[in-house]
Structure 1
Amino acid sequence: MAVENANQLVSVVTLLAAAVVAVPLFKRLGLGSILGYLVAGLVIGPFGLGFVNDSQGIIHIAELGVVMFLFIIGLEMKPLHIWGLRHHIFCLGSFQITVCMSILIGIGILYGLDWKIAFVAGAGFTLSSTAIVMQELRDRGNMTSSRSQRIISILLFEDLLIVPLLAFVTFLAPDKIDNPDPIWLKLTIPIASIAILIVIGLWLLNPLFKILAKTKIREVMTAAALLVVLGSGLLMEIGGLSMAMGAFLAGVLLSESSFRHQLEADIEPFRGLLLGLFFLSVGMSLDLAIVANNLALIVIGVLLFVLVKTSSVYLVARITGMNNASAIERAVTMSQGGEFAFVLFTAATTRYVINPEQQATMTAIVVLSMLLTPLWIILYKKYVIPNLKKESFEQESDHIEEQHPTVLIGLGRFGQVVNRLLLMTGHKPTIIDKNASLIAGMKKLGVKCYYGDASRPELLQAAGVANAELLIIAIDDKQQAIRIVELAKKINPQIKIIARAYDRVHVYDLYNAGADIQIRETFDSALRTVEKTLRAFGMEKEMAREITEVYFYKDRHNIKLTSEIYDPKISHFDNKELIRLSLDIDQEIMAEIQQIIHKED
């Protein structure tokens, strides 16, 4: 017993050591963490150095990483959002699957395979890796973009497709296999499992978490979060569906729960560790002996499979209206086989549709395609993207899945301060910014924000400006800020608008465009500087503050008077009436400040 436990501990230590060494090294080389995990698994696995031999046992445990990953994705997607993607899921998903599967099956038949074997191979190769694709989308930080949402929709359809595919494989089984259950029963059980999960998610989970939250015991909440993820996965597995699909549905049902962020924080450490373990186990499952014995077949199979699938995905993307750059991106990202192919191949082998050698060959092709995907992505980013026309690769606006009474445009140094204080006071705004790298970075920090150009009326509509109470414009682009004010007032004349202004002239333009309050970006900091300067001169604190407050309120009030005289067609320094009024106002303010200074004389 002691020896067995020691061996298990050696395996655990080996897995952790491989991850700790390989992943930072591959990241440093610019090859990505996923490829690091896959290569590390290949090296330490039973077909490499042999430090770890139970690759199949590990992959079953590691699949929980994919399950937890899908749960977290579900937490970020509300039911209404999923409903909005229904056309992408069923129409786009079915179109891409049909095209890819038909071409791959056709090639298998032309190669001389029996049509049943060709079907199993084509269906398995068509299914993409949810883990690899989702991780790549998350690393890019653009999971909410329109093209990413289409990819996610296709992956969801593939997860749903595994049920009818397994049922059809059972139908293909030879007569010597006993199949007592009718097809209709095999399809009814998964539907019943989904119905049970929806009932539990809608009416039982939130009350349960409220009760557990009152205990104020953190580990109980963590245990409950794991129970929800694993329990939903188990329910779906019993119903013949994938565990990942069950976890995803549970996440969606809890996406509007007040415990959503707590659940995400509890699951995240397990998700990252187990997902890394999954990639390690995929690398370990590559049987180098099978590859060596069937080298020509497997190499040709991998290259032909990747080429055909990439071309098919690209073709579907172009037919459905994607531009060239987005179509190439989708094709490269989804070029590999997936983890559900292993399930399909195993089921087909168990039912004698394919033999063990064919299963091993197909599995090797899928694993190699997964190993090569990070390399394709690196080559795509290094050599393809720079050669694409810039206008064809403009990032699409994110899909805005939730609306709030307050909309904040701009998340730069000005907007970040505004957002933090709003959140601290219980006001959650819908945030939009057109700096893609900034949005990606802020999302990694947990800030809910969307990429897009707010000067486009359709994006303002999607953000909920038509029903919003307040619009805050915190961008530093003067002309764009004016355009947003004008568009927002057209969409919703009653909305109150607070806009960041560059200078006094910009204040006039914003005022005339319809902004209710204009905040000059350096005005307050200049007043604070003056207050500190007066204190440095020896003036009492109360007097210095009173002087700056008087200047603030007088200037804010009188700017409305000068804005009525302002004419954008006349230079600010050539508008004599504006200059005269400005000087008169300055004299009035100076007189009042002098009274403050000398009121105790």
Structure 2
Amino acid sequence: MFDILFLLLAAVVLVPLFQRFGIPSVLAYLAAGIMLGPHTPGPVIELEVARPLAEFGVVFLLFAIGMELPLSRLRTMRRYILGLGLAQVVVTALLIGGIGHAFGLSGALSLVVGLTLAFSSTATVLAILVERGEAVDHHGRIAVAVLIFQDLAVVPVLVLLPLLAGQERHVAEALALAGGKVVLVMAAIFLVGRFLLRPAYRFIAVGRNPEVFTAANLLLVLTVAWVTGEAGMSMALGAFLAGLLLADSRYRHQVEADIEPFRGLLLGLFFMTVGMSVDLPFVAERLGLVLGLAVGTVAVKAAVLIVLCRLMKVGMGDGLRVGFLLAQGGEFAFVVFGRALELKLLDGGLGQALVASVALSMVLTPALAALGRRLSAGMTPERGGEPIPETVRHLAGHVIIAGYGRVGRAIARLLAEHEIPYIALDMDVDRVAAAREAGLPVYYGDAGRTGILRSVGIGQARAAVITVNEARQAERTISCIRQAAPHLPIVARARDRAQEQVLGDIGATAVIPETVEASLQMAGSVLRQAGIGEEAVERSLKGYRNRRYGRPTE
């Protein structure tokens, strides 16, 4: 109870404090872990008490990411999973292993160190992507694809350790057995999910019991994670597969809402355990070695990823963001280096230095991600289908739609019915490609960048519509449009009244809160069912909108 109270107190105090100064919550949890760890003065939390629970934070995070990536979208990522992911692990392992061998490490140890440092921190990277709403952006999906391959590569690395230590002699047989086990387990998970999971959820949903529904979600996540863990794969990979099974289902949004509290708290606990593992006295004593390992790892991985992204025709901006985002070491290193110490492949001093360097690189991840964003800020995306034609720049009297999701598509259809020209911009590559195939004027681009706005004729447009779902992106887009076209009418979508106020203050001409419009539609239906005439209902709704939005409605 003492340990739990101090962990909760540290989170409650530090996370709001860091967020007030614009510092990512990941750093708050890491700082709390360092304060409560065995290497600093003050209260000490037993690492082994928190670690089992902390692992479930990564499990729930990967489950949520899996639900954001339906199989149709995952198939479009296979080039990055099997191409970029494989190339990144192999090239990084060879480079780091070669550097280690040049500094005197044995061939076996060089291979272990190179492979282990090739992996990135799934938990840290995805937490940053989710916190910034970038998990389904182009660079976010590339990063997720590389992380998926890295999780798949966990099995052969674990199999290699006893082989390199001389405890196993049949290398090919052991690797083949491990690979076959992976294929069988993944096939079984998808078959069970396809034929049993959705009928089971339908049966549970009919009962309308929220406690049972939440219990079913926990059962699904933990069962699939346990199965993959028993098969020698990471539990996080199993959770990701479980999320994929529900990605296209009608229950996805309720499942996300149910697991959100577990995910946030347990993931914070995971980052605390990372902070607890940082041995500050050891780092201070061997600062040069630890810093050299951390900086070297970050530099090699960032350079490799940026070069490989360019070779795979990824835009320089996205390549920079992916490279710096995945440049750190990963939590898997704690497992591998610990196992290598047990097998006498690694001596204690070097093992502690490697663990400390990995933890330090994970602490630096938010700063590295911010550096990647800053370096790529002035670069126009080079991905997403055909470029915006020069003729679009000279359009006049058209409407610019920022975001071509569900709301954006509905607006575009209505504009087309009234023969009003429009140009839509979206950052989802697959969505843009599908629209272009249908011959629609939809292009890949960030409406929050002045150069993109000029390329779609912002100066001659008659109006702009902001339908993006992510709050910060909507605010940035409105600010950029208002600077480029001070008098252009801007109609924005808001989730609620709080966001309505923010977007109005930034410069939106009219803000339509989804919650208000949904309530008006329901009220209109109730009035009609109560026998009120259609004309009176429409008059009431129009009057409410006039008062609510502060301008006449037609």
State the TM-score, normalized to the length of structure 2. Answer: 0.70
* Aligned equivalent of 2:97, options 84, 96, 105: 105
Mapping of residues 71-110 of structure 1, within 5 Å: 71-110=63-102
Deviates more, 1:188-197 or 1:230-239: 188-197
One-letter amino acid of the structure 2 residue matched with residue 133 of structure 1: V
* CA distance in 1: counterparts of 2:59 and 2:377, whole angstroms: 38
How many Å apart are 1:186 and its aligned residue?
A: 3.2
Cα 1:463–1:153 shift into 2, 3 Å: farther
* Aligned equivalent of 2:427, options 447, 451, 455: 451
One-letter amino acid of the structure 2 residue matched with residue 215 of structure 1: G
Is 1:334 the counterpart of 2:326? The answer is: yes
* CA distance in 2: counterparts of 1:138 and 1:71, whole angstroms: 12
Deviates more, 1:155-164 or 1:334-343: 334-343
Cα 1:212–1:63 shift into 2, 3 Å: same
Is 1:304 the counterpart of 2:279? The answer is: no
* CA distance in 1: counterparts of 2:209 and 2:15, whole angstroms: 35
Cα 1:368–1:216 shift into 2, 3 Å: same
Q: Which residue does the alignment assign to 1:353? A: 345
* CA distance in 2: counterparts of 1:47 and 1:105, whole angstroms: 30
* CA distance in 1: counterparts of 2:197 and 2:84, whole angstroms: 32
* CA distance in 1: counterparts of 2:371 and 2:361, whole angstroms: 15
How many Å apart are 1:458 and its aligned residue?
A: 4.4
Q: Tell me the alpha carbon deviations over residues 307-351 of structure 1, each in whole angstroms, 9 at most, x when there is no partner.
A: 222222222222222333322222211110011122222232233
Q: Is the 8 A contact 1:225 1:263 kept in 2?
A: yes
Gaps of 5+ in 2: 386-398, 414-422, 442-455, 464-508, 511-532, 540-554
Is 1:215 the counterpart of 2:207? The answer is: yes
* CA distance in 2: counterparts of 1:197 and 1:89, whole angstroms: 19
Q: Is the 8 A contact 2:138 2:429 kept in 1?
A: no
Cα 1:205–1:305 shift into 2, 3 Å: same
Is 1:122 the counterpart of 2:114? The answer is: yes
Q: Tell me the alpha carbon deviations over residues 277-309 of structure 1, each in whole angstroms, 9 at most, x when there is no partner.
A: 111111011122332343221122112222222
Q: Which residue does the alignment assign to 2:157? A: 165
Q: Which residue does the alignment assign to 2:130? A: 138
One-letter amino acid of the structure 1 residue matched with residue 327 of structure 2: S
* CA distance in 1: counterparts of 2:276 and 2:241, whole angstroms: 30
Cα 1:311–1:213 shift into 2, 3 Å: same
- For the aligned residues, what is the CA RMSD? 3.8
How many Å apart are 1:195 and its aligned residue?
A: 2.2
Q: Which residue does the alignment assign to 2:146? A: 154
Is 1:279 the counterpart of 2:279? The answer is: no
Mapping of residues 169-184 of structure 1, within 5 Å: 169-175=161-167, 182-184=174-176
Q: Percent identity?
A: 35
Deviates more, 1:58-67 or 1:236-245: 58-67
One-letter amino acid of the structure 2 residue matched with residue 238 of structure 1: E
* CA distance in 2: counterparts of 1:457 and 1:261, whole angstroms: 24
Cα 1:433–1:45 shift into 2, 3 Å: farther
How many Å apart are 1:61 and its aligned residue?
A: 1.4
How many Å apart are 1:197 and its aligned residue?
A: 1.3
Q: Tell me the alpha carbon deviations over residues 227-275 of structure 1, each in whole angstroms, 9 at most, x when there is no partner.
A: 0001100000000001111011111111122211121111111111111
One-letter amino acid of the structure 2 residue matched with residue 136 of structure 1: I
* CA distance in 1: counterparts of 2:100 and 2:168, whole angstroms: 25
Q: Which residue does the alignment assign to 2:389? A: none
* Aligned equivalent of 2:261, options 269, 275, 279: 269
Q: Which residue does the alignment assign to 2:58? A: 66
Q: Is the 8 A contact 1:145 1:397 kept in 2?
A: no
* CA distance in 2: counterparts of 1:257 and 1:226, whole angstroms: 17
**Tell me, what secondary structure is at the counterpart of 1:410?**
strand
Mapping of residues 415-454 of structure 1, within 5 Å: 434=425, 450-451=426-427
Structure whose CA Rg is larger: 1
Q: Tell me the alpha carbon deviations over residues 118-171 of structure 1, each in whole angstroms, 9 at most, x when there is no partner.
A: 222111111011111112222332332323222111111101011111111221
Mapping of residues 384-423 of structure 1, within 5 Å: 384-385=374-375, 390=378, 392-394=379-381, 410=401
One-letter amino acid of the structure 2 residue matched with residue 410 of structure 1: I
Q: Which residue does the alignment assign to 1:492? A: none
* CA distance in 2: counterparts of 1:148 and 1:284, whole angstroms: 28
Q: Tell me the alpha carbon deviations over residues 164-221 of structure 1, each in whole angstroms, 9 at most, x when there is no partner.
A: 1111122102349999x94433333332222221122111111211222222211111
Q: Is the 8 A contact 2:54 2:267 kept in 1?
A: yes
Q: Is the 8 A contact 2:3 2:46 kept in 1?
A: no
Q: Which residue does the alignment assign to 2:368? A: 376
* CA distance in 2: counterparts of 1:416 and 1:320, whole angstroms: 33
Q: Which residue does the alignment assign to 1:461? A: 436
How many Å apart are 1:451 and its aligned residue?
A: 3.1
Q: Is the 8 A contact 2:400 2:461 kept in 1?
A: no
* CA distance in 2: counterparts of 1:183 and 1:306, whole angstroms: 29
Cα 1:457–1:417 shift into 2, 3 Å: closer
How many Å apart are 1:394 and its aligned residue?
A: 4.1
Q: Is the 8 A contact 1:232 1:246 kept in 2?
A: yes
Cα 1:462–1:160 shift into 2, 3 Å: farther
Q: Tell me the alpha carbon deviations over residues 376-397 of structure 1, each in whole angstroms, 9 at most, x when there is no partner.
A: 334555xx44xx673x244855
Cα 1:362–1:465 shift into 2, 3 Å: same
* CA distance in 1: counterparts of 2:108 and 2:408, whole angstroms: 62
Q: Which residue does the alignment assign to 1:249? A: 241
Cα 1:176–1:197 shift into 2, 3 Å: closer
Cα 1:270–1:345 shift into 2, 3 Å: same
Deviates more, 1:457-466 or 1:118-127: 457-466
Q: Tell me the alpha carbon deviations over residues 466-485 of structure 1, each in whole angstroms, 9 at most, x when there is no partner.
A: 9xxxxxxxx99797799xxx
Q: Which residue does the alignment assign to 2:444? A: none
Q: Which residue does the alignment assign to 2:479? A: none
Q: Is the 8 A contact 1:73 1:248 kept in 2?
A: yes
**Tell me, what secondary structure is at the counterpart of 2:96?**
helix
* CA distance in 1: counterparts of 2:144 and 2:110, whole angstroms: 27
User: How many residues get paired?
Assistant: 434
One-letter amino acid of the structure 2 residue matched with residue 80 of structure 1: S
Cα 1:10–1:330 shift into 2, 3 Å: same
* CA distance in 1: counterparts of 2:182 and 2:222, whole angstroms: 17
* CA distance in 2: counterparts of 1:322 and 1:259, whole angstroms: 34
Cα 1:30–1:395 shift into 2, 3 Å: farther
One-letter amino acid of the structure 2 residue matched with residue 60 of structure 1: P
Q: Which residue does the alignment assign to 2:16? A: 24
* CA distance in 1: counterparts of 2:5 and 2:241, whole angstroms: 34
Gaps of 5+ in 1: 1-8, 399-407, 423-431, 435-449, 467-474, 483-520, 523-541, 549-601
Q: Tell me the alpha carbon deviations over residues 545-584 of structure 1, each in whole angstroms, 9 at most, x when there is no partner.
A: 9xx9xxxxxxxxxxxxxxxxxxxxxxxxxxxxxxxxxxxx
How many Å apart are 1:358 and its aligned residue?
A: 3.0
* Aligned equivalent of 2:358, options 357, 366, 390: 366
One-letter amino acid of the structure 2 residue matched with residue 18 of structure 1: A
Q: Is the 8 A contact 1:59 1:282 kept in 2?
A: no
Q: Which residue does the alignment assign to 1:190? A: 182
Q: Is the 8 A contact 2:18 2:28 kept in 1?
A: yes
* CA distance in 1: counterparts of 2:380 and 2:129, whole angstroms: 16
* CA distance in 2: counterparts of 1:75 and 1:349, whole angstroms: 37
Cα 1:177–1:368 shift into 2, 3 Å: farther
